[in-house]
Every structure is written in C-alpha cells, then in structure tokens.
C-alpha cells in the first residue's frame, strides 16, 4: 500500500539511507531533503551575488535610465491603443497604422498645447496664491483651536495638570515653521553645492522625456507583434499556457491604467463642481489636486482632502460641514457607481491588501513604488495564480484517489 507520506511499502527499504529513517519519512522523506538543499543553494547564490554586486552595476544603470521613459511609454501605449484599434476597425484595415499614430500624435499635442495656454496660467496663479496664503490659513487654524480650547471644558482639565496648551501649540507651530525653513535652506545649499549633479540629473530626465514619443511610436506600431515574438522563445507545448498568462497580464495592466485614469478624471470633475457649489476658495486647484492624487487608491484622497479641510475650517465651521458632505457624496458615487462600472472586478484585490502593498512599495521604491505597486502586484498575482493552478493540475495526475484531488 502507498502511504500518505509518499512512501511505498512494496519498495525495498534501505535502512542505511538517512532519507529512509522513520523520522525523515514522517517529515516528508526525500522531498524534505530536496527542499532544504534548494534553500541552501538559493542562499548561497544570494550570498555570492551580494559579494560580486559590482558586476551588475551597468545593468542597474541601464535599468534606471530605461525605467522612466519605458513606464511613460507603456502608459501612453495603453491609453492610445483603443483609439488605434477603433480607427483600424472603422477603416477596415485600409488606413496605414503609421498614419493613424501620426494623427493621434497631432491631436494629443494640440490638446496639451491648449491646456497649457488656457488652463496653466490660471492654475499657476491659484497655486502661487495658495502657497503664499497657506501659512496664514494654518496660523488661523491654530488660533481657532486655541480659542475653542479656552472656551471648552478642557480648559479646567489642562489647568488642573498645569498644562499650557497655548504655549505647546505655539511652540509646535514655530518648530514646524523653522523646520520648513531649514529644509528649504538645506535643499538650496545642496543644490548649490551639487549643481553639477543636479544639472546631470535634470539632463537625464529631459532626455528620458524626449525619448518617450519615439518609444511610444514603436510600441504602437509593432506592439501587437511583441507577444508573438515572446511566444517563439518558449517550447511549442508551453505556448498556449504562456499566451494565456500574457493575455491576462495585458488585461490587468490595461484595465488598471485606463480605469484608474478615468476614475481620477471623474473624481476631479466632481470635486471641482462640489467645491464651486459650496463656494470653497481655490476650488479648481483643489479639484486638480484631488484628480492627481486619486491615482493612488485610498491614500491619495486622504492627501487631497488635507488642504481643503484647513481652508474650510478657517473659512467657517459651516464650510467644513459642507466640505464633508461634498467629500462623502463624491466618495459614495465613486465607490458605488464609477469604479465598479469602469474598472469592474478585474483586479479583485482586497482593500487591506492594497494598503499593505502601497505601504511596502512606497517604503522600498518611494513615489514610484506607490504609483506602480498595485499594477505590479496584479501582474505578480496573475503569474503566481497560474503557477499554482499548473501545480495543482500536475499533482492531480499523480493522485489516484478522486476524493483527495485538488479542485481546479
């Protein structure tokens, strides 16, 4: 009989083998030894690579140079690909793809120029005014808090413990102002002392942005051929499964990029309209800020609401109530109608998982990790899910008892 631990009593036992002992067979037999050896070799490989990491420095530099234009080009590819497919479908394949791409380029450049000429000056003026007046708003907020505490029942409690909260708030405010000034001073001195490195970094960023249209053009022109080229690398019997994984990854990235951008635009429009209705100052600027930060799920809206709350509290308590109502209505519309209809349930990621992914990716890779953490996790989830499904299918081939089979 074949036992559950994989050991067959019909096979001759060799008691001299360590893997044939009862304890090792109880822990898993040769499978346990194989796993331990694999972990040992993996640790050895990591140790050796850590000691010769300088060999991979050119690869690191290449990755750092390519990552920014590559990501921007991929985002542009998924944004413009539906229009190209629609144009080719409408033209029934008679319109050259290169011509369609050039027409899209002209339309995009015209829209960007129009936004820069019409919207940018207004938003720039609002931003400069907000930067100049935000310290005044913040000090007014501190004074409002102090006045409230003086007239509340907390005043007696603080006096009982001899706690001067007025002085505490003043000291915290002064320390915050000094910290901000010191930070800007350090940044200015760092830029002044390392002007060569700053110019080099700025030049690299500009060159990366210049190369984006060229990379994007070739992605749009030959992007459909790339999956076929990758499939040729794999053995013929693996191409169907690899093709399914690639299609699922493409669907995940496409749905996330398109869906998140559309959701962010809808949130920005609704927040701007809501701010204008309640008469909040800097409505357009705060609406644009809400649209930009909404690209990051859960954390973005919390960042966007902070300056609006400060302005609303300083304006009037009733303005704060109106702001809360607008924010609640927008979040309900976004969560119940916009996001389900635009993005659907293609990602199927739990909110707690999203928060942990954002925190981890942000700690590891900074702002880029916060922005790219969710799509990266979605791609990794597709790959791991497929590998696990393949493992279950392989195990089922060796499982004779139908009761103990995995459910695929």
43-65 residue pLDDT tens = 998 888 888 877 877 777 777 77
Residue that is written with structure tokens 């357009």 in the block? 284
337-348 pLDDT, tens digit per residue, is: 777 776 655 566
| pLDDT for the residue numbered 397 | 60
* CA 172 from centroid of its chain's CA atoms: 33
pLDDT of residue 7: 45
- Higher per-residue confidence, 92 vs 303: 303
The rounded Cα 149 to chain-centroid distance in angstroms is: 40
Which band of pLDDT confidence, cut at 50, 70 and 90, is reported for residue 405? Answer: low
Rounded Cα gap, residues 119 and 111, in angstroms = 11
Please give the pLDDT value at position 406.
54
pLDDT in tens, 186-224: 555 554 455 555 566 666 667 777 888 888 888 888 877
- Spatial separation of the C-alpha atoms in residues 77 and 229, rounded to whole Å: 18
The residues spanned by each domain of the chain are 1-48
User: What pLDDT score does 48 carry?
Assistant: 86
For CA atoms 214, 218, 223, 227, the dihedral sign is negative
Mean pLDDT for the stretch of residues 99-116: 88
Q: Is this prediction's pTM over 0.95?
A: no
Q: What digits encode the pLDDT tens for the residues 134-183? A: 777 777 777 776 666 666 665 665 555 555 555 555 655 666 555 655 55
In this predicted structure, the answer to whether residue 131 has a pLDDT above a threshold of 80 is no
- Report phi then psi at 8, rounded to 5: -100, 120
112, exposed or middle or buried, with CB in 10 Å at 0-12, 13-18, 19+? exposed
Average pLDDT over the chain, rounded to whole?
A: 76
- Tell me what pLDDT residue 11 has: 46
Does residue 2 carry a pLDDT above 50? no
Helix or strand run (H / E) with residue 287: helix 283-293
């Amino acid at each position: 009989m074949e036992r559950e631990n994989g050991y067959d009593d019909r096979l001759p036992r060799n008691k001299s083998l360590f893997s044939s002992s009862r304890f090792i067979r109880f822990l898993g037999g040769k499978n346990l030894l194989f796993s331990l050896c694999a972990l040992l070799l993996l640790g050895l490989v990591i140790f050796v690579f850590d000691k010769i990491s300088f060999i991979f420095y050119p690869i690191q530099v290449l990755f750092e140079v390519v990552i920014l234009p590559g990501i921007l080009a991929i985002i542009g590819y998924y944004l413009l690909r539906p229009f190209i497919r629609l144009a080719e479908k409408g033209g029934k394949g008679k319109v050259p793809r290169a011509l369609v791409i050039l027409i899209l380029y002209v339309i995009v450049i015209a829209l960007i120029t129009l936004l820069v000429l019409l919207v940018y000056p207004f938003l720039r003026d609002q931003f400069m005014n907000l930067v100049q007046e935000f310290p005044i708003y913040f000090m007014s907020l501190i004074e409002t808090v102090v006045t409230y505490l003086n007239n509340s029942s907390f005043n007696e409690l603080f006096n009982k413990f001899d706690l001067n909260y007025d002085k505490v708030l003043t000291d915290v405010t002064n320390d915050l102002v000094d910290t901000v000034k010191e930070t800007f001073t350090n940044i200015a001195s760092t830029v002044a002392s390392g002007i060569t490195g700053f110019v080099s970094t700025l030049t690299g960023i500009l060159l990366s942005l210049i190369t984006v249209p060229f990379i994007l053009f070739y992605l749009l022109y030959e992007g459909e051929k790339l999956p076929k080229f990758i499939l040729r690398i794999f053995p013929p019997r693996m191409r169907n499964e690899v093709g399914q994984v690639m299609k699922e990854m493409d669907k995940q990235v496409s749905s996330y990029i398109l869906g998140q951008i559309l959701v962010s635009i809808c949130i920005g429009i609704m927040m701007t309209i809501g701010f204008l209705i309640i008469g909040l100052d800097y409505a357009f600027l705060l609406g644009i800020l809400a649209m930009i930060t909404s690209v990051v799920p859960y954390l973005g809206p919390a960042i966007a609401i902070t300056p609006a709350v400060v302005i609303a509290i300083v304006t009037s308590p009733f303005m704060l109530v109106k702001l809360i109502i607008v924010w609640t209505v927008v979040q309900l519309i976004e969560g119940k109608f916009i996001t389900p209809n635009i993005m659907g349930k293609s990602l199927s990621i739990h909110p707690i998982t999203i928060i942990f992914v954002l925190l981890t990716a942000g700690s590891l890779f900074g702002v880029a990790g916060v922005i790219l953490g969710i799509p990266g996790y979605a791609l990794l989830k597709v790959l791991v899910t497929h590998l696990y499904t393949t493992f279950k299918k392989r195990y089922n081939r060796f499982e004779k008892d139908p009761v103990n089979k995995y459910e695929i």
